[in-house]
Structure 1
């Protein structure tokens, strides 16, 4: 299969991906939680089919467009985990008549618009902010939560499902335990306050670092991470996974080798990897870790690190180890583990398995 690759190609190791899903499903079961994965990373029907093998029947997406793409595969519920865009209400009604959906609400204004215009039954979560600061209702502001719930009651087709937290700041701090303590407290407080009026409400938390590393979820009902299916170099640096758990690698052709500079030029740049970046201890940039590709089997993480030090649109320059410089030739293929697998997958819009099977992606090829 590698012999057929002539340009940057995103490879997926099916077994690693399945192992990642199985491990998270087992963790959810251990804690009595439902796993409702966010499909914004994979955006693939086939990867969704792999998830079904572990009892997953409900998924999360990040847009109505993505919900439409996944709706053709008869999921029990598709939740759109982004503050609802009221300009899409009529398109939403059309899709909701074919696929059971739920949405995310963060203010009474949009809730009123939805209640006034919804023509098909749908559920909603109220997104809660417990410290991240990106979006959501601060959990202490129960008066605002009550306004949203009151506005929603205007339409019997709109049903309250519960509270949702994405503690995205777990990506940027080592104190994941502290973040989860705060999130558990917020969701437990809200559940105790509203459960008598809404006995079926659920609480959901959705970030890969916390769901991977934590072992205390309190009485949270559901977990909804997404990046865990593939993982990436950022997750490995956080400690969510090892490099060997990363399920995707960008295959890039070597087009020049500068031994005296310790650099390798590859066809693979920002339009393929994205420009997400990490920083090395010396302050240099890292756009992806080099692995060795092998025909039909998992890629090998080398003993001596090499990484992409810079990217432009199509170019990538690798800071190469002595081991890599000795073993590589112009025309060879190298693998690059992405800094952010969600963005790399979105750039590439399809995958090839190690045995050459083409996998779909919502933004590219459909099956």
Structure 2
């Protein structure tokens, strides 16, 4: 029985072959550069996809919250790193999880470090997050006083140990010159390693953004890479040059509920609660909330550019497709179309489960079948 016969409402499809190929390619790249790949599991958030990753030599993983870390505990990971400025209200939960799972957290100020010193009953590692231009979070790369205050505070505890420096160059998503940005990342992490390695000979440096990890080939002496989105990729990554559309591993199946041939539009059941509301805007100001692919027994096919159809607008449950002539000529009410997401991490988080092309449900931390 085809996986398509199981679908009656918006459903997130996953192509295991594409997903595995993406994981293998990034794993091979890390090995080529003598780096450890510690993927950020905020994209996949799945035990089963985690098992696929382990087949390619991946032994550690990153989470974006303690809730996600808890979901990943007990799955055989050597370490789970929580890559979000640590929320000290969760120290009791951290102690509970650290009894049976090696964990590390992100620290960006000495107050958090002191609260961990006072509250930890189990051994926990920490990275200092560095800001080298993104401006969202982290200790500024040149603020050695703050770095040293955090390190001195942590030394008061035999439970809290320093692992290294973490840098997420998130502005790679909207800065066209990724090589120039990566020069900043290499320089920042290289300088910090040189400055602190004699005191902390085991320290490692980690960089985390998918656009940079996918595009770059010069990582200097950075020890680890921690991209997340590469597992699935999406239209945003394709737009940045990090992947081809054929390398996007997930598509949202949406039912067609109405067709307006005069306006060249198709109404589908699929909106913001399924895709989130990330959007690409072209040079003419046209909004693109996802691109249409044609579903078949084996997955999906991507139309040629001149035959392209896309979601021009979405509301909570509705999506309006700006349809090509060939799609309008072939589509019927009750058909299923596929949508390549603009931001696959958010789409997966919204949907909370995946349907594989062999008709099996795959788990997701936000609630699975």
TM-score by length of 1: 0.99
Matched, 1:298 2:299: yes
Aligned to 1:336: 339
The 2-side partners of 1:4 and 1:329 are apart by 19
Matched, 1:326 2:338: no
Alignment gaps of 5+ in structure 2: none
Query: Cα distance, 1:280 vs. partner?
Result: 2.0
The 2-side partners of 1:185 and 1:41 are apart by 28
- Equivalent runs, 1:130-279 vs 2, <5 Å: 130-279=132-281
SS at 2:294 equivalent? strand
Pick the aligned partner of 1:288 from 287, 290, 308: 290
Q: Could you report, residue by residue, the CA deviation over 1:137-170 in whole angstroms, capped at 9, with x for unpaired residues?
A: 0110111100000000010111100000000000
Query: Cα distance, 1:217 vs. partner?
Result: 0.1
The 2-side partners of 1:32 and 1:310 are apart by 44
The 2-side partners of 1:321 and 1:283 are apart by 19
Matched, 1:314 2:317: yes
Aligned to 2:41: 39
Matched, 1:355 2:358: yes
Aligned to 2:51: 49
SS at 2:70 equivalent? helix
The 1-side partners of 2:318 and 2:330 are apart by 21
- Equivalent runs, 1:64-103 vs 2, <5 Å: 64-103=66-105
Query: Cα distance, 1:72 vs. partner?
Result: 2.2
The 1-side partners of 2:327 and 2:284 are apart by 21
Alignment gaps of 5+ in structure 1: none
Query: Cα distance, 1:257 vs. partner?
Result: 0.8
Q: How many residues align?
A: 365
SS at 1:251 equivalent? strand
The 2-side partners of 1:106 and 1:178 are apart by 25
TM-score by length of 2: 0.98
Query: Cα distance, 1:74 vs. partner?
Result: 2.1
The 1-side partners of 2:17 and 2:163 are apart by 34
Q: What root-mean-square deviation, in Å, do the aligned CA atoms of Structure 1 and Structure 2 show? A: 0.7
Moved over 6 A (4+): none
- Equivalent runs, 1:97-112 vs 2, <5 Å: 97-112=99-114
The 1-side partners of 2:206 and 2:214 are apart by 15
Query: Cα distance, 1:4 vs. partner?
Result: 2.2
